[in-house]
């Protein structure tokens, strides 16, 4: 047997593994080079006019000026020739040249005396006579991205994220008082609420992605983001579990751990949410009003309740009531990413990035649901029992009803 093993040839001869990995790559490169050198043998001349696909990535309004950032989404270069706003040609300059290579972008600064609150339809005439349309549903000046602005974005993040979530966590004493039989219902409430958040974020991510250049993935970015977030959180979960096993601390997998997961999921979700707020405020699409703030505070308060709901689990009793610092930490994890998102959104909004981040939020929430759902089980081990079903429906209803306050 020993001799036979020795005789069996190693796959790939005596070459080291890294070489075996590189050889196919090199061969592919050579094949592509030969193909290109021969001018694509057998394919003949390309037929048909050039394909012009351009996405409007960003619209900014300054006094007397409209600024559009274009991204070439198609296979051929596109050359901008003229720009008309509301059926009137307007003078403009292009910061990165008139010709946009594949996947490249340029920004058009159009001189136009636009008026607050009016709608504008823009068409960009290309060198081939084709047109690219852009529209401004309601014109409003884009705020300058200065220090004040970032301060305002931070405040927005705090209003959207930190404060409502923290307020929601004030239900903790109530949660800890309710009878043992209601615990599954509380978790179910969280699950229902998270499920609606995930659906909402998916739809919104897809909508943003539909405006993003399809060359960068478009809608598939949402799903890629979701998958990656789900896998990373799963890996993190395994890692933390191993460590806690080593430390021999059973409490680590208790209610506090579940609350932390929920907080992370909601936090990643709020990152995307903040991004959307920041970008729409920066582009003037978001009119801020006191009514909306109040509506949003109530809406996001439910997220806080979702975080504290698991803190009533049986296992959590082992670790005792969570400390104030722990609670604040949970609130920050869930709420603070909204600030970061608002900054990113305001400073460098990009629909592809936004779609990916919305996807990340969805994946995180999905992972959290999978992790906390077992706590919904009753003594018989059933997921769906009257209390859990009622809890989930209550969660869905809570988000829906408070959502009415913030939809316009």
Whether residue 118 contacts residue 139, with contact meaning beta carbons closer than 8 Å, is answered with yes
Candidates 8-16, 39-47, 250-258, 399-407; binding stretch for other proteins (CB under 8 A): 399-407
Question: What are the b/e assignments for 227-260, b being 16+ CB within 10 Å?
Answer: eebbeebeeebeeeeeeeeeeeeebbbbbbbbbb
Q: Does 264 bind other proteins (CB under 8 A)?
A: no
Q: Does 119 bind other proteins (CB under 8 A)?
A: no
Question: Among residues 271, 273, 363, 372, which is the contact residue for other proteins, using CB under 8 A?
Answer: 273
Question: Among residues 25, 115, 324, 380, which is the contact residue for other proteins, using CB under 8 A?
Answer: 115
Question: Among residues 166, 194, 198, 200, which is the contact residue for other proteins, using CB under 8 A?
Answer: 200
Least Å from the CB of residue 392 to other proteins: 23
Least Å from the CB of residue 142 to other proteins: 10
Which DSSP helix (H) or strand (E) runs through 110? strand 105-111
Candidates 188-196, 224-232, 281-289, 308-316; binding stretch for other proteins (CB under 8 A): 281-289
Q: Would you say 260 or 398 has its CB closer to other proteins?
A: 398
Site residues for other proteins, window 53-82 (CB under 8 A)? 53-56, 58-59, 61, 63-65, 73, 79-82
DSSP assignments along 193-206, one per residue? HHHHHHHHHHHHHH
Q: Does 151 bind other proteins (CB under 8 A)?
A: yes
Q: Would you say 244 or 280 has its CB closer to other proteins?
A: 280
Site residues for other proteins, window 209-238 (CB under 8 A)? 210-213
Q: Would you say 65 or 237 has its CB closer to other proteins?
A: 65
Whether residue 132 contacts residue 124, with contact meaning beta carbons closer than 8 Å, is answered with yes
- Lookup: tokens for 68: 């559009």
Least Å from the CB of residue 329 to other proteins: 23
Candidates 36-44, 127-135, 183-191, 325-333; binding stretch for other proteins (CB under 8 A): 127-135
Question: Among residues 100, 105, 106, 139, which is the contact residue for other proteins, using CB under 8 A?
Answer: 139
Question: Among residues 89, 103, 382, 384, which is the contact residue for other proteins, using CB under 8 A?
Answer: 89
Site residues for other proteins, window 30-49 (CB under 8 A)? none
Least Å from the CB of residue 156 to other proteins: 5
CA–CA distance, 192 with 398 (Å, rounded to integer): 9
Q: What is the 3-state secondary structure (H, E, C) of 14-61?
A: CCCHHHHHHHHHHHHHHHHHHHHHCCCCCCCCCCCCCCCCEEEEEEEE
Site residues for other proteins, window 160-199 (CB under 8 A)? 160
CA angle 116, 62, 341 (to 5 degrees): 100
- Lookup: tokens for 290: 């006191």
Candidates 18-26, 31-39, 187-195, 274-282; binding stretch for other proteins (CB under 8 A): 274-282
Q: Would you say 304 or 351 has its CB closer to other proteins?
A: 351
Question: Among residues 87, 173, 177, 386, which is the contact residue for other proteins, using CB under 8 A?
Answer: 87
Whether residue 132 contacts residue 126, with contact meaning beta carbons closer than 8 Å, is answered with yes
Q: Does 292 bind other proteins (CB under 8 A)?
A: yes
Whether residue 83 contacts residue 65, with contact meaning beta carbons closer than 8 Å, is answered with no
Question: Among residues 284, 359, 361, 363, which is the contact residue for other proteins, using CB under 8 A?
Answer: 284
Q: Would you say 55 or 333 has its CB closer to other proteins?
A: 55
- Lookup: tokens for 248: 């021999």
Look up residue 89 and give its DSSP letter. B
Q: Does 129 bind other proteins (CB under 8 A)?
A: yes
Q: Would you say 259 or 353 has its CB closer to other proteins?
A: 353
Site residues for other proteins, window 305-364 (CB under 8 A)? 351
Q: Which SS3 state, helix, strand or coil, does residue 76 take?
A: coil
Q: What is the dihedral of CA 7, 9, 14, 20, to 10 degrees?
A: -160
- Contacts by 389-393 with C-beta closer than 8 Å and gap 24+? 389/188, 390/185, 390/188, 391/184, 391/185, 391/186, 391/187, 391/188, 391/189, 391/191, 391/192, 392/188, 392/189, 392/191, 392/192, 392/195, 393/192
CA–CA distance, 393 with 380 (Å, rounded to integer): 21
């Amino acid at each position: 047997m020993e001799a036979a093993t020795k005789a069996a040839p190693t796959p790939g001869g005596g070459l080291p593994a890294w070489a075996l990995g590189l050889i196919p790559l090199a061969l592919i490169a050579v094949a592509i080079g030969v193909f290109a050198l021969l001018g694509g043998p057998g394919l003949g001349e390309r037929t048909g006019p050039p394909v012009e696909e351009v996405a409007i990535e960003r619209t900014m309004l300054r006094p007397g000026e409209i600024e559009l950032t274009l991204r070439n989404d198609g296979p051929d270069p596109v050359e901008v020739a003229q720009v008309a706003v509301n059926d009137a040609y307007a003078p403009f300059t292009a910061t990165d040249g008139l010709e946009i290579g594949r996947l490249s972008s340029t920004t058009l600064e159009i001189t136009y005396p636009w008026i607050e609150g009016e709608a504008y339809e823009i068409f960009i005439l290309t060198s081939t006579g084709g047109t690219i349309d852009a529209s401004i549903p309601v014109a409003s000046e884009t705020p300058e991205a200065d220090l004040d602005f970032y301060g305002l974005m931070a405040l927005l993040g705090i209003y959207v994220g930190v404060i409502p979530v923290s307020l929601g966590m004030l239900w903790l004493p109530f949660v800890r008082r309710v009878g043992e039989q209601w615990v599954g219902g509380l978790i179910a409430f969280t699950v229902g609420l998270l499920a609606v958040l995930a659906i909402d974020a998916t739809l919104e991510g897809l909508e943003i992605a539909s405006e993003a250049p399809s060359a960068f993935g478009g809608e598939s970015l949402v799903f890629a983001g979701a998958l990656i977030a789900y896998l990373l959180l799963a890996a993190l979960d395994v890692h933390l579990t191993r460590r806690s096993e080593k430390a021999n601390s059973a409490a680590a997998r208790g209610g506090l751990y579940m609350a932390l997961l929920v907080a992370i999921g909601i936090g990643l979700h709020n990152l995307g949410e903040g991004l959307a707020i920041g970008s729409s405020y920066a582009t003037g699409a978001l009119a801020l009003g006191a009514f909306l703030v109040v509506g949003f505070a109530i809406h996001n308060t439910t997220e806080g309740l979702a975080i504290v709901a698991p803190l009533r689990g049986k296992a959590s009793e082992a670790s005792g009531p969570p400390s104030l610092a722990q609670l604040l930490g949970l609130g920050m994890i869930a709420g603070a990413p909204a600030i970061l998102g608002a900054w990113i959104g305001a400073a460098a909004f990009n629909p592809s990035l936004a779609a990916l981040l919305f996807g990340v939020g969805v994946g995180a929430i999905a992972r959290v649901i999978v992790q906390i759902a077992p706590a919904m089980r009753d003594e018989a081990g059933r997921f769906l029992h009257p209390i859990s079903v009622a809890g989930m429906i209550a969660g869905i209803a809570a988000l829906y009803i408070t959502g009415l306050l913030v939809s316009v």
